[in-house]
């Protein structure tokens, strides 16, 4: 593979993959927070 | 008898003779070792790393030193923990044990700042390729932009071991210089009105169960998406899981104290051992330092620009300065944002938001490296 094709592939997939992975993680954290909400300490 | 005395004296003088005949690079490296020790001891620049690196550099550059030869002290450390990835990964367990991800969990979207803060890696990759570095060398150099020493060492030791010395020193030096490098870029890219935006304080909204499950979920998601980076993310999350589960306090304390301290010493000495003058003093070393600087500047630029975009999208609810904390230098970058925020508005405390972006940067740097390694694997290059 020519070096510019390599560089552009790494850049596009790398930036895209990093954003995608972290976005998925943020959704999963949201889900976790919904499944396990912080209970009101006074109510306990 | 006279001959044997002369031969003995010859043995005593061979180091000095070598120094004056072919030891020019060693002399320069001894001066660099002194500079590293000075920076660490007198200027408090990453002393935990620069002191052992500086001393390792001093040891290996004493003429005819055999410390990096097979069986030598520094070679043994190198083979035991760098050639096989062990030391950076043990450091990561300690980092995970020390890090509180609560500010990130309070506002999960802030993780995206951790992605923006890695853009410099990819800009640097293109620049390194343009300068003629091979594909794997360019990847290893680009990872300096992760602003994350252990990740840079991990990738360099595996895929560009001949560049490990300059990459490690550049990574740690620039991490220490974050408070100097970032503020002018932050000021240049933001308007006075943007710099004084006050953000809502974060409400406490994370349950202990969420904190406990977070490291497991991160390990699973990133491991499935970018399996080549699993050792990196897996060890950070192991440390964090031990911290949050609360039942292995001894292991957590050992990870963040004794193990991290011992490994830091060994790691620094072994890196210093790679800085032998004849191997280190090459034009590529200067190029690596230049590229590392560009990488960290571009990370900051991308983070702040991303902050401006989010500010615009949210109708001015986000201060773009927190984008600068999307790099991995933790907690230094978050402190820089807090300091800059207070500089323009003495009552504007951005620390918790910046800490969220900064812990996002820690995860982002590892994820970016993991993604790159997985893409390389997919291309059949590793």
From the first residue on, what is the mean pLDDT of each consecutive set of 10 residues in chain B (382 residues)?
80 80 90 93 86 94 89 93 89 93 92 94 95 94 90 90 88 83 95 94 86 95 89 94 96 96 93 89 92 94 96 94 91 91 92 93 92 90 82
Query: Token digits for B197?
Result: 């935006």
pLDDT of residue A44 exceeding 50: no
Nearest to B208 by CA among A21, A25, A41: A41
How is B158-215 classified by DSSP, letter by letter? HH-GGGHHHHHHHHHHHHHTHHHHHHHHHHHHS-HHHHTPPPPPPP--B-HHHHHHHH
Range B189-227 burial, b when 16+ CB lie within 10 A, else e: bbeeebbebebeebeeebbebbbbbbbebbbebbbebbe
Greatest extent of chain B over all pairs of C-alpha atoms, in Å = 91
Give CA–CA dist B293/B79, Å, rounded: 29
- ipTM score of complex: 0.90
Under 8 Å between Cβ of B236 and B96: yes
Task: Compare CB distances from B372 to A4, A10, A20 and report the shortest one's residue.
Answer: A10
Q: What distance in Å separates residue A29's CA from the closest CA in chain B?
A: 6
For residue B111, what is the nearest residue in chain A, using CA coordinates? A22
Give CA–CA dist B5/B8, Å, rounded: 5
Give CA–CA dist B371/B376, Å, rounded: 9
Task: Compare CB distances from B111 to A6, A17, A26 and report the shortest one's residue.
Answer: A26
Helix axes B47-60, B24-41, angle to 10 degrees: 160
Residues 6 or more apart whose Cβ sits within 8 Å of residue B116 = B302, B303, B305, B306, B307, B323, B326
DSSP helix, strand, coil percent of chain B (3-state; round to 5): 80, 0, 20
CA torsion B4-B6-B7-B13 (nearest 10°) is 150
CB contact under 8 A, A38 and B206: yes
First to last CA, chain A: 62
Under 8 Å between Cβ of B59 and B75: no
Length of chain A: 44
Under 8 Å between Cβ of B225 and A21: yes
Q: What distance in Å separates residue B32's CA from the closest CA in chain A?
A: 33
Residues of chain A in contact with residue B114, where contact means CB-CB under 8 angstroms, are 22
Amino acid A42: pLDDT: 53
Under 8 Å between Cβ of B61 and B33: yes
B360 and chain A: CB distance < 8 Å anywhere?
yes
Residues of chain B in contact with residue A10, where contact means CB-CB under 8 angstroms, are 122, 125, 139, 372, 375-376
Residues of chain B in contact with residue A33, where contact means CB-CB under 8 angstroms, are 105, 108, 205-207, 210
Under 8 Å between Cβ of B56 and B74: yes
């Amino acid at each position: 593979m020519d070096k510019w094709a390599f560089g552009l592939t790494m850049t596009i997939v790398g930036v895209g993959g990093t954003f995608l992975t972290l976005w998925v993680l943020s959704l999963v954290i949201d889900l976790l927070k919904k499944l396990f909400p912080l209970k009101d300490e006074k109510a306990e | 008898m006279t001959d044997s005395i002369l031969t003995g004296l010859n043995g005593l003088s061979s180091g000095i003779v070598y120094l004056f005949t072919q030891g020019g690079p060693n002399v320069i490296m001894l001066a660099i070792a002194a500079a590293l020790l000075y920076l660490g001891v007198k200027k408090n620049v990453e002393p935990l790393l620069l002191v052992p690196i500086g001393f390792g550099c001093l040891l290996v550059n004493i003429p005819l030193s055999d410390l990096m030869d097979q069986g030598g002290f520094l070679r043994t450390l190198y083979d035991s923990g760098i050639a096989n990835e062990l030391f950076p990964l043990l450091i990561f367990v300690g980092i995970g044990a020390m890090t509180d991800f609560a500010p990130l969990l309070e506002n999960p979207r802030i993780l995206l700042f951790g992605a923006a803060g890695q853009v410099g890696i990819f800009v640097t990759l293109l620049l390194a390729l343009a300068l003629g570095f091979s594909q794997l060398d360019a990847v290893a150099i680009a990872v300096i932009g992760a602003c994350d020493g252990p990740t840079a060492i991990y990738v360099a030791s595996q895929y560009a071991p001949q560049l490990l010395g300059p990459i490690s020193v550049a990574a740690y030096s620039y991490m220490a210089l974050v408070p100097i490098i970032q503020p002018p870029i932050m000021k240049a890219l933001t308007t006075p009105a943007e710099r004084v935006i006050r953000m809502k304080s974060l409400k406490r909204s994370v349950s202990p169960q969420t904190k406990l499950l977070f490291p497991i979920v991160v390990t699973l998601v990133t491991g499935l998406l970018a399996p080549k980076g699993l050792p990196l993310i897996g060890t950070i999350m192991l440390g964090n899981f031990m911290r949050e589960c609360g039942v292995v306090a001894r292991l957590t304390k050992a990870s963040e104290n004794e193990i991290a301290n011992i490994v830091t010493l060994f790691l620094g000495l072994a890196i210093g051992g790679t800085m032998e003058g004849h191997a280190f003093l090459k034009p590529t070393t200067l190029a690596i330092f230049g590229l590392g600087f560009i990488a960290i500047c571009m990370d900051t630029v991308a983070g702040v620009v991303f902050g401006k975009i989010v500010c615009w999208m949210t109708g001015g609810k986000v201060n773009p300065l927190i984008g600068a904390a999307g790099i991995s230098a933790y907690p230094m970058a978050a402190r820089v944002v807090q300091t800059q925020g207070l500089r323009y508005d003495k009552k504007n405390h951005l620390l918790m938001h910046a800490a969220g972006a900064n812990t996002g940067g820690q995860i982002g740097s590892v994820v970016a490296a993991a993604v790159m390694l997985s893409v390389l694997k997919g291309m059949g290059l590793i």
